[in-house]
Amino acid sequence: MQLLTRMQYVSPKRGQLHQEHPNASGSHQGLRAKADSTLLEGTMSTIAPVTFTVSQRKKVTTRTFQQKKERGEPITMLTAYDYPTAQVMDQAGVDSILVGDSLAMVVLGYENTLPVTMEEMLHHCRAVSRGAKLALLVGDMPFMSYQASVEEAVRNAGRFLKEGNMDAVKLEGGRERIEAIRVITGAGIPVMGHLGLTPQSVHQLGGFRAQGKTAAAAKRLLEDALLLEEAGCFSLVLESVPARLAELVSQRISIPTIGIGAGVGCDGQVLVTHDLLGLFDRFTPRFVKKYADFHSAMQNAFASYLEDVQAKAFPAEEHSVDMAEDEWQALLKEI
Residue 14 carries which side chain, given as an amino acid letter?
A: R
Q: Which position among 18, 96, 100, 279 is part of the footprint of ligand KIV (CB under 6 A)? A: 100
What distance in Å separates the CA atoms of residue 130 and residue 150, rounded to the nearest whole number? 30
Q: Least Å distance between CB 172 and ligand KIV?
A: 8
Report if residue 260 touches ligand KIV, rule: CB under 6 A. Answer: yes
Closest C-alpha to 97, from 235, 271, 262, 234: 271
Query: 147 vs 5, 39, 171, 323, CA distance in Å?
Result: 42, 53, 10, 62
Verify whether residue 229 is a known catalytic residue.
no
Binding segment for ligand KIV (CB under 6 A), chosen from 95-103, 130-138, 209-217, 279-287, is: 95-103
CB of 68 to ligand KIV, least distance (A): 18
Question: Using the rule CB under 6 A, is 96 a contact of ligand KIV?
Answer: no
Position 272 contacts ligand KIV (CB under 6 A)? yes
Half-sphere exposure of 211 (CA within 13 A, CB side): 24
Shortest distance (Å) from residue 195 CB to ligand KIV: 11
Q: Is cis: bond before 49, omega within 30 of 0? A: no
The dihedral sign for the CA sequence 240, 245, 247, 248 = negative
Q: Which of 172, 229, 239, 247 is catalytic?
A: 239
Q: Which of 181, 225, 253, 270 binds ligand KIV (CB under 6 A)?
A: 270
Angle in degrees, CA 225, 230, 232, rounded to 5: 100
Smallest separation, CB 105 to ligand KIV (Å):
9
Determine if 102 is a binding residue for ligand KIV (CB under 6 A): yes
185 lines the binding site for ligand KIV (CB under 6 A): no
Contact at 8 Å (CB) between 99 and 136?
no
Restricting to residues 238-257, which ones interact with ligand KIV according to CB under 6 A?
A: 239
* Residues forming the site for ligand KIV (CB under 6 A): 79, 98, 100-102, 140, 237, 239, 260, 270, 272
Active-site positions read 239
